[in-house]
Structure formats: C-alpha cells, structure tokens
Amino acid sequence: MAILVDKNSRIIVQGITGSEGSFHAEQCLEYAGNVVGGVTPGKGGQTALDGKVPVFNSCAEAREKVGANVSLIFVPPPFAADAIMEAAAAGIELIVCVTEGIPVAQMVEVKAFVDQTGSRFVGPNCPGVLTPEGAKVGIMPGFIAKKGSIGVISKSGTLTYEAVDQLVKQGYGQSTCVGIGGDPIIGTTMKDLLDLFEHDEETEAIVMIGEIGGSMEIEAAKFAKANVSKPVIGFIAGQTAPPGRRMGHAGAIVSGADESAAAKKKLMAECGVHVVESPADIGRTVRDALKHVKIGVEL
C-alpha cells in the first residue's frame, strides 16, 4: 500500500518550465511515468519535457484537465508561499515543496491556510517523497531505494539516503521514504507520519531520523509509545553540536536542555524507540528489532 503516493498518483510540477523544475520533473517522469503536467502562470497551452506533458496556467486548471492530485513545487522563494496556497486552494491532496529559503513569517501564513483545507503539505526545504516502484515526488535518487516494508521519516535529505542504503544492504526495502524538511515551520510532522505508517499494512517497521533543536522528536516518541505497535528505530543528528549552534537546518538550533541530542535519545529510549548512535547502525538495528518481533510472535 505505502503512504502518500503510489502508481496512481497524478503529479504536476509547479515551476516546470524553470531549469530546476524541468530537470527534476524529467527524473520523476522517468522513474514512474506519473507526471501528468506542469504549472507556470502565463505559459498555459505550451508543453514541457520535450512535449511529453502539458503546461497549465494554474493548479485549478491542471486539476480539472488532467486530474492532478499531487503537486511538486520548484518555485523560487519569493513566490513559493503563494504557490503552496494556490495548490491547496485548488484541492490538490498532497503538496510537496522542495524550495528552501521561504521566510518563516510566510510559512506561518501558509501553514494556517493549508490546515484549513483538505490538503496535506510536505516541506518546505525537503527532498520530497519516494515510494519505490510507485512514485517519485522530489529530488530523492530513486535508484538507491528498493520496494519493501520499512517506512522512513527524516529531517535530513542526506541521512535519508544513508538510511535507505543501510536498509538495502541488510536486504530490506522501503514502503515509502518521506523527507519532511528541517525548517522551523513545516507541514507534515514525524507524529503525522508515524500514524500513517502504523496504519499501513505494508509497513513492518519505521526509521525516524531527527536532529537537535525543537520538540518534534520528543512529541513523536511519546506518540509512538502510546499509539504505534511497530518497531521504531530512531537516530538524532548533531550529537556533537555545542549549545546554541545552528547545524545546517534553520530548525536545528538547541534552545533548551531537553532539545539536545542526549535528552532526545534518552526520552526516545524510554518510549520504546530503538535508538542508534550512528547512521551506520540503522540497517542492523532494524534487522534486530524485526527479529525480536518475529520471535515474540512465534512464542
């Protein structure tokens, strides 16, 4: 089943006529063949990707003409907030924004708007969503993933790829990989995705990659303890960061003691999460966690 996207997803790319948008739209189309159009205001009626997909002036037009239900956004930061809200206003079910550098004040407005609609928003400043052999919505390299039963949630694009590689080396594929982004204000949270993976029959275990700063990992761990029956394997990036130091992501800054890597790891472990010390241990820890679950069932 996977979550968020699959072979039936009908993807449009906002900003498809730009260099970044056209390049990555082509990669998404080649991966699963379900990019059905693009949106660039003023260029409706044209085609993109060497004539393979139509271009529309608006998301509403794309939804009406090609049944778009997923939008991938490659719009420059000054216009990205409006692009997200346009997609939500058009009723697009899933909106994924790769754009980085959107002002926090604008994202507060975006989140409030999207939360009032029926749309789900992933991002911004994220690598997107990948369901192996089903759909690629973003910039994740599809060739490294393998269809399987491990859900992956990550704030870090690079660590998403490392986790996938570790899993594949252990013989495990992925149900869906979701890069949620590391900005202070984002759409879909770790807790949201834990709930989706818990209710996905195809997913057997969940890898959750967080980082210092903020309370999202803490909230997710508490949610997992109360609501998730599947093994959750967790890693926190930024363990050697000094207090107050920003490490890469705008949201990765420690402002309180319980936001440090040590504090998060301690609470995650108390909540039953299998905490790993290094990304290199992710695959092996998933293997061991699933082995214990199977032994418990057999007993």
What are the pLDDT digits (tens) for 226-243? 999 999 999 998 765 555
Are residues 274 and 192 both part of a single domain? yes
Q: What is the DSSP letter of 127?
A: -
For residue 259, what pLDDT is reported? 73
**pLDDT value, residue 297:** 46
**What are phi and psi for residue 151, nearest 5 degrees?**
-85, 140
Q: Are 165 and 286 in the same domain?
A: yes
pTM assigned to the model: 0.93
Write out pLDDT tens, residues 38-58: 999 999 999 999 999 999 999
Mean pLDDT of 84-98: 98
Domain with residue 196: its CATH number is 3.40.50.261
Q: Are residues 155 and 264 in the same domain?
A: yes
User: Are 214 and 77 contained in the same domain?
Assistant: no
In a domain, 19, yes or no: yes
Q: Is residue 200 part of a domain?
A: yes
Domain count within the chain? 2
Mean pLDDT for 67-94 is 98
Active site residues: 249
Within-domain flag for 99? yes
Q: Which range among 3-7, 209-213, 214-218 has the greatest average pLDDT? A: 3-7
The pLDDT of residue 225 is 98
Domain limits at 236?
Answer: 145-298
For 240, which DSSP code? Answer: T
**Shared-domain flag, residues 150 and 117:** no
Q: What percent of the chain has pLDDT over 90?
A: 85
Residue 211, φ and ψ in degrees, nearest 5:
-160, 175
User: Which H or E element spans position 207?
Assistant: strand 205-211
Task: Give me the pLDDT at residue 299, please.
Answer: 32
291 in the same domain as 149: yes
- Whether residues 181 and 52 share a domain: the answer is no
90 and 162 in a single domain? The answer is no
Inside any domain, residue 129: no
The pLDDT tens digits of the residues spanning 123-142 come to: 999 999 999 999 999 999 99
Shared domain check, 25 and 87: yes
How confident is residue 298, by pLDDT bands cut at 50, 70 and 90?
very low
Band of residue 252 on the pLDDT scale cut at 50, 70, 90: very low
Q: Looking at the predicted structure, is the pLDDT value of residue 254 above 50? A: no
pLDDT of residue 213: 85
CATH number of residue 87's parent domain: 3.40.50.720
Check whether residue 161 and residue 279 sit in a common domain.
yes
| Position 140 in a domain | no
Are 37 and 110 found together in one domain?
Answer: yes
70: left (phi over 0), alpha (psi -120 to 50) or beta: beta
Domain check: are 168 and 92 in the same one? no
In a domain, residue 117? The reply is yes
Q: Average pLDDT, stretch 116-122?
A: 97
Q: In which order are the strands placed within the sheet that holds 47-48?
A: 47-48, 53-56, 35-39, 11-14, 70-73, 94-97, 120-122
Answer whether residue 112 shows pLDDT above 70: yes
Let me know the angle formed at the C-alpha of 99 by 96 and 100, rounded to the nearest 5 degrees. Answer: 130
Whether the CB-CB separation of 81 and 106 falls below 8 Å is answered with yes
Peptide bond into 124 cis (omega under 30): yes
Q: What is the DSSP letter of 191?
A: H
Question: Which residue stretches of 252-281 are H helix?
Answer: 261-270
